[in-house]
């Protein structure tokens, strides 16, 4: 096990950033920490990378307790959410600098970063500040990998990156995992969760669940319907007055609907909406996604809190 | 050691890649030395003078003439009424009014005594004091001449001998303000490089987030701090060298003492100033905050350094504060070594105080610097 987190809590004044967080990440595993902004993801990263001390709880990273910060700093790679390389140094200079402060050279670990580095190599003499968003992330990943860490921490690596670069980025992570590296990656994009081996859903500092993406969607456990309509607002309002309606969430141009009954009656719902004057609607049964599971769990979580 | 070397390499690369840096290092000091050294002078020239001559005698004309031949005064008006002269002062046309009352000559000849009045615009107190001194000197001179002349005329044999005092200024025989100011201005230049650039450089890493990345590396606290401060220590010493060369070439002011003493003192002094810069960077999160805080200290340090106003004329509590002002010691030592030719033993008191200061300041700064938040 490369990361073991045992009931870590951290508060900033009255704000409870992390509440009793516990999970493990194995070697060769791509582990996703999924949750909205302000959920406590970055705080957990800062604790695991020894930049911050937890109020309570323990963690072991790469075989060292987090109090042994010197050992951990030698064996982990960290890519903060904010681009944090030297914008006035070139691509190559940044890479060489980070290699040298870890007491290694770019040549020694070149094959580890080769697949990524070849994509930015044409710009090796360009200053890092002048790179595009996707290029910056690739360079940051190279710099975080250059000392061949055992554990890699990536804090929202794909935020603000275009879809093509995002896809490439995840393909690279997949390759690194196959090398046996433990990777903890956080993201607010629910669609990226399915690319992880296992995910933990985090909300308001609490881990809602930890499982494989497939299992999480299975535990959703209810029939789910997508409603397509041109009038999202009106339809949402009307469905809320439908007697059997349980939840209704907007998902892009669709609405996701669950029913209070075990076996919902889609025809009845369609009739109900027609009766309200909505004619251009389309109702289809769909498989739940991680995002549906997240909304469901977050809802239950807040209900527990309010009770 | 190797890590520090890599950090230094990176730091110098960044410093010289910054387009603004070379002008800051070489043009700014040149401009400051040239402009400040000529402008920051206490000599008062072209004092506008208004004479109210109500006597119109030969003696009053003599006195007027004496003022007119002086370089310091230029006549802006002559009138017969004090009101008119004061109006003139209200309109900022004149700084000094000399009132010569009626019967000035008669009283002087008959009673051996006469009165004159000087009115001086004291909005600028320092200038007023200098103007007063100039005018008094001229009147005093005039008085001497009269006595001698009258003694001739009356042939009084029992006239007491006049004791005259002459002055000579050491180390700066012509009381040239440039000689006095230039060493001090050099101190300012070196201080500015150290306090602003070093402090802001560290805060910049905080601001752009690279500090967080650096903190997750095996770089040790002392390595990082040395890597940050050493470049500016070197640059400031280079800057001092450039400044000293400019002093010699442009102003003809060489170092009377040993140049090594100057550099030795500067080396210790810079440790103090860099420590202050580092200390400031511990408590600030943006370059803007660091800039304002540095300015706060800079202004106090400069105004209380004895560079512009003598420390001896400050109130006692202010003099005590200047004991904690590193700039004060460097200004003192620069003047001592450059003008007076002081040797190492002469500056030992200042040097030892600064050494202690450097240790305390850097100790505080290093203790305050946290790698773990």
Encode pLDDT of A199-257 as tens digits.
Answer: 999 988 999 889 998 888 888 878 889 988 888 888 888 888 888 888 888 887 888 98
CB contact under 8 A, B217 and A51: no
Same-domain check for residues B21 and B64: no
Same-domain check for residues B361 and B323: yes
Q: What are the chain A neighbours of B20 within 8 Å (beta carbons)?
A: none
Residue B125 counted as domain residue: yes
**HEC string for chain B:** CHHHHHHHHHHHHHHHHCCCHHHHHHHHHHHHHHHHHHHCCCCCCCEEEEEEECCCCHHHHHHHHHHHHCCCEEEEEEECCHHHHHHHHHCCCCCEEEEECCCHHHHHHHHCCCCCEEEECCCCHHHHHHHHHHHHHHHHHHHHHHHHHHHHHHCCCCCCCCCCCCCCCCCCCCCCHHHHHHHHHHHHHHHHHHHHHHHHHHHHHHHHCHHHHHHCCCCCHHHHHHHHHHHHHHHHHHHHHHHHHHHHHHHCCCCCCCHHHHHHHHHHHHHHHHHHHHHHHHCCCCHHHHHHHHHHHHHHHHHCCCCCCCHHHCCHHHHHHHCCCHHHHHHHHHHHHHHHCCCHHHHHHHHHHHHHHHHHHHHHHHHHCCCCC
Q: What are the chain A neighbours of B14 within 8 Å (beta carbons)?
A: 86, 88-89
CATH code linked to domain A3-212: 3.40.50.300
Residue B163 counted as domain residue: no
Task: Tell me the shortest Cα–Cα distance from A177 to chain B, in angstroms.
Answer: 21
Chain B residue with CA closest to A103: the answer is B3
Query: What does the buried/exposed string (b/e) look like for A160-199 if buried means 16 or more CB atoms within 10 Å of the residue's CB?
Result: ebeeebbebbbebbeebbeeebbbbbbbeebebbebbbbb
Residue B164 counted as domain residue: no
CB atoms within 10 A of CB B76: 17
Same-domain check for residues B236 and B292: yes
DSSP conformational letter for A121: G
Which of the residues A45, A84, A104, A130 would you substitute to probe the B interface, choosing the one with the greatest number of B C-beta atoms within 10 Å? A84
Of B6, B14, B373, the CB nearest to A89: B14
pLDDT value at residue A300: 81
**CA–CA separation, A191 and A232 (whole Å):** 22
Q: Tell me the fold of A222-287.
A: Alpha-Beta Plaits (3.30.70)
What are the angstrom distances between the C-alpha of B183 and each of B8, B309, B344?
30, 15, 17
Nearest one of A175, A158, A154, A155 to A166, comparing CA atoms:
A158
Tell me, yes or no, if B6 comes closer than 8 A to chain A by beta carbon. yes
Task: Tell me the shortest Cα–Cα distance from B373 to chain A, in angstroms.
Answer: 5
CA end-to-end span of chain A? 37
pLDDT value at residue B372: 45
**CA–CA separation, B202 and B219 (whole Å):** 15
Count of the separate structural domains present in chain B = 2
Report, as ranges of residue numbers, the positions in chain A whose pLDDT lies below 50: none
Q: What are the chain B neighbours of A84 within 8 Å (beta carbons)?
A: 208-210, 212-213
Same-domain check for residues B112 and B58: yes
Q: What are the chain A neighbours of B216 within 8 Å (beta carbons)?
A: 49-51, 73, 76, 78
pLDDT value at residue B373: 41
Q: What are the chain B neighbours of A136 within 8 Å (beta carbons)?
A: none
**CA–CA separation, A185 and A194 (whole Å):** 13
Residue B334's DSSP bridge partners are none
Reduced to 3 states (helix: H, G, I; strand: E, B; else coil), residue A69 is: helix
ipTM field: 0.80
**B positions 219-238 inside 8 Å of A (CB):** 219
Tell me, yes or no, if B20 comes closer than 8 A to chain A by beta carbon. no
Residue B272 counted as domain residue: yes
Same-domain check for residues B196 and B336: yes
Reduced to 3 states (helix: H, G, I; strand: E, B; else coil), residue A212 is: coil
Given a contact cutoff of 8 angstroms between Cβ atoms, the answer to whether B74 and B56 are in contact is: no
CA atoms within 13 A on the CB side of B233: 21
Tell me, yes or no, if B124 comes closer than 8 A to chain A by beta carbon. no
Query: What does the buried/exposed string (b/e) look like for B124-137 if buried means 16 or more CB atoms within 10 Å of the residue's CB?
Result: eeebbebbeebbee
pLDDT value at residue B177: 72
CB atoms within 10 A of CB B286: 13
Tell me, yes or no, if B218 comes closer than 8 A to chain A by beta carbon. yes
Nearest one of B226, B255, B304, B238 to B11, comparing CA atoms:
B226
Of A87, A89, A102, the CB nearest to B217: A102
Cα A300 from chain centre? 21
Q: What are the chain A neighbours of B213 within 8 Å (beta carbons)?
A: 78, 80, 84-85, 143
Same-domain check for residues B76 and B56: yes
Residue B243 counted as domain residue: yes
The boundaries of the domain holding residue B315 are 2-40+174-368
Same-domain check for residues B258 and B331: yes
Same-domain check for residues B35 and B54: no
Same-domain check for residues B130 and B248: no
pLDDT value at residue B152: 65
Torsion, Cα A276 A280 A285 A289, to 10 degrees, reads -100
**CA–CA separation, B64 and A229 (whole Å):** 101
Task: Tell me the shortest Cα–Cα distance from B6 to chain A, in angstroms.
Answer: 7
CB contact under 8 A, B212 and A80: yes
CB contact under 8 A, A78 and B216: yes
The residues of chain A that CATH labels 3.30.70.100 are 222-287
Chain B residue with CA closest to A153: the answer is B216
Q: How many CB pairs under 8 A join A and B?
A: 67
Nearest one of B185, B263, B190 to B232, comparing CA atoms:
B190
Given a contact cutoff of 8 angstroms between Cβ atoms, the answer to whether A209 and A56 are in contact is: no
The residues of chain A that CATH labels 3.40.50.300 are 3-212
**pLDDT tens per residue across all 373 residues of chain B:** 788 999 999 999 998 888 887 787 778 878 888 887 777 666 677 888 999 988 888 888 888 888 888 878 888 888 888 888 888 888 888 889 988 888 888 888 887 778 888 888 888 877 888 888 888 888 888 888 887 777 666 555 455 445 555 666 676 666 667 777 888 888 988 898 888 888 888 898 888 889 888 988 988 888 888 998 999 999 999 989 988 998 888 888 888 888 999 999 999 999 999 999 988 888 888 889 999 999 999 999 988 888 888 888 889 999 999 999 999 999 999 988 988 888 889 999 999 999 999 999 988 888 887 654 4
Nearest one of B88, B84, B74 to B53, comparing CA atoms:
B84
CB atoms within 10 A of CB B221: 13
Q: What are the chain B neighbours of A48 within 8 Å (beta carbons)?
A: none
Query: Which strands make up the sheet holding A282-286, listed edge to edge?
Result: A245-251, A254-259, A224-228, A282-286
Task: Tell me the shortest Cα–Cα distance from B96 to chain A, in angstroms.
Answer: 59
Tell me, yes or no, if B216 comes closer than 8 A to chain A by beta carbon. yes
pLDDT value at residue B237: 92
Residue B25 counted as domain residue: yes
Chain A residue with CA closest to B11: the answer is A89
Same-domain check for residues B19 and B55: no
Residue B132 counted as domain residue: yes
Residue B20 counted as domain residue: yes
Q: What is the helix (H) or strand (E) element at residue A257, kind and residue range?
A: strand A254-259
Of B2, B218, B372, the CB nearest to A51: B372
Same-domain check for residues B91 and B224: no
pLDDT value at residue B173: 62
Tell me, yes or no, if B45 comes closer than 8 A to chain A by beta carbon. no
What are the angstrom distances between the C-alpha of B156 and each of B140, B148, B160?
21, 11, 10
Task: Tell me the shortest Cα–Cα distance from B4 to chain A, in angstroms.
Answer: 9
Which of the residues A54, A74, A86, A95 would you substitute to probe the B interface, choosing the one with the greatest number of B C-beta atoms within 10 Å? A86
Tell me, yes or no, if B11 comes closer than 8 A to chain A by beta carbon. no
Same-domain check for residues B93 and B211: no
pLDDT value at residue A251: 84
Nearest one of A103, A83, A59, A76 to B220, comparing CA atoms:
A103
Q: For chain A, list residues whose CB is within 8 angstroms of any CB belonging to chain B.
A: 46, 49-53, 69-70, 73-74, 76, 78, 80, 82-89, 93, 97-98, 100-103, 143
pLDDT value at residue A198: 94
Tell me, yes or no, if B213 comes closer than 8 A to chain A by beta carbon. yes
């Amino acid at each position: 096990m490369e990361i073991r987190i045992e009931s870590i809590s951290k508060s900033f004044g009255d704000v409870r950033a992390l509440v009793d967080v516990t999970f493990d990440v194995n070697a060769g595993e791509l582990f996703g920490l999924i949750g909205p902004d302000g959920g406590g993801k970055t705080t957990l990263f800062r604790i695991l990378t020894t930049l911050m001390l937890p109020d309570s709880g323990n963690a072991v990273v790469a075989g060292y307790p987090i109090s042994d910060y010197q050992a951990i700093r030698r064996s982990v790679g960290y890519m903060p959410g904010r681009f944090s390389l030297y914008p006035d140094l070139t691509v190559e200079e940044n890479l060489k600098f980070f290699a040298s402060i870890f007491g290694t050279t770019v040549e020694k670990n070149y094959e580890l970063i080769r697949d990524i580095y070849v994509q930015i190599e044409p710009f090796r003499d360009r200053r890092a500040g002048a790179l595009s968003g996707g290029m910056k992330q690739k360079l940051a990943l190279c710099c975080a990998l250059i000392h061949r860490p055992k554990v890699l921490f990536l804090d929202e690596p794909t935020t603000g990156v275009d879809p093509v670069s995002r896809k490439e980025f995840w393909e690279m992570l997949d390759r690194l995992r196959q090398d046996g590296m433990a990777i903890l990656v956080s993201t607010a994009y629910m669609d990226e969760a399915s690319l992880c081996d296992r995910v933990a859903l985090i909300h308001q500092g609490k881990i809602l669940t930890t499982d494989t993406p497939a299992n999480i969607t299975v535990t959703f456990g209810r029939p789910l319907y997508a409603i397509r309509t041109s009038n999202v607002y009106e339809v949402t309002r009307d469905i809320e007055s439908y007697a059997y309606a349980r939840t209704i969430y907007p998902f892009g141009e669709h609405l996701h609907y669950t029913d209070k009954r075990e076996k919902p009656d889609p025809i009845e719902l369609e009739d109900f909406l027609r009766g309200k004057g909505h004619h251009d609607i389309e109702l289809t049964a769909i498989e739940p996604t991680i995002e549906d599971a997240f909304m469901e769990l977050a809802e239950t979580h807040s209900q527990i809190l309010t009770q | 050691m190797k890590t520090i070397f890599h950090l230094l390499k990176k730091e110098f690369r960044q410093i010289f890649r910054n387009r603004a840096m070379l002008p800051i290092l070489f043009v700014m000091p040149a401009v400051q030395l040239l402009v400040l050294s000529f402008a920051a002078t206490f000599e008062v020239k072209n004092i506008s003078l208004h004479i109210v001559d109500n006597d119109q005698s030969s003696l009053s004309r003599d006195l007027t003439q004496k003022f007119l031949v002086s370089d310091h005064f230029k006549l802006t008006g002559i009138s017969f009424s004090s009101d008119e002269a004061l109006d003139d002062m209200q309109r900022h046309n004149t700084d000094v009014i000399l009132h010569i009352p009626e019967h000035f000559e008669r009283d002087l000849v008959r009673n051996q005594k006469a009165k004159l009045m000087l009115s001086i615009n004291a909005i600028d107190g320092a200038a007023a004091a200098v103007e007063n001194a100039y005018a008094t000197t001229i009147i005093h001179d005039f008085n001497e001449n009269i006595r001698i002349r009258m003694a001739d005329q009356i042939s009084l044999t029992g006239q007491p001998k006049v004791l005259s005092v002459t002055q000579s200024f050491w180390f700066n025989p012509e009381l040239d303000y440039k000689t006095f100011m230039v060493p001090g201005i050099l101190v300012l230049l070196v201080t500015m490089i150290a306090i602003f650039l070093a402090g802001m450089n560290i805060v910049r890493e905080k601001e752009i987030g690279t500090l967080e990345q650096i903190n997750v590396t095996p770089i040790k606290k002392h390595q990082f701090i040395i890597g940050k401060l050493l470049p500016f220590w070197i640059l400031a010493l280079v800057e001092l060298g450039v400044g000293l060369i400019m002093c010699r070439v442009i102003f003809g002011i060489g170092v009377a003492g040993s140049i090594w003493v100057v550099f030795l003192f500067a080396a210790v002094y810079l440790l103090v100033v860099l420590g202050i810069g580092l200390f400031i960077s511990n408590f600030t999160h943006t370059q803007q905050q660091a800039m304002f805080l540095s300015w706060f200290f800079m202004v106090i340090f400069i105004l209380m350094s004895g560079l512009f106003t003598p420390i001896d004329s400050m109130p006692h509590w202010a003099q005590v504060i200047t004991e904690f002002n590193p700039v004060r010691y460097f200004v003192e030592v620069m003047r001592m070594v450059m003008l007076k030719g002081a040797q190492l033993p002469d500056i030992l008191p200042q040097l030892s105080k600064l050494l202690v200061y450097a240790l305390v300041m850097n100790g505080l700064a290093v203790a305050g610097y946290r790698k773990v938040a």
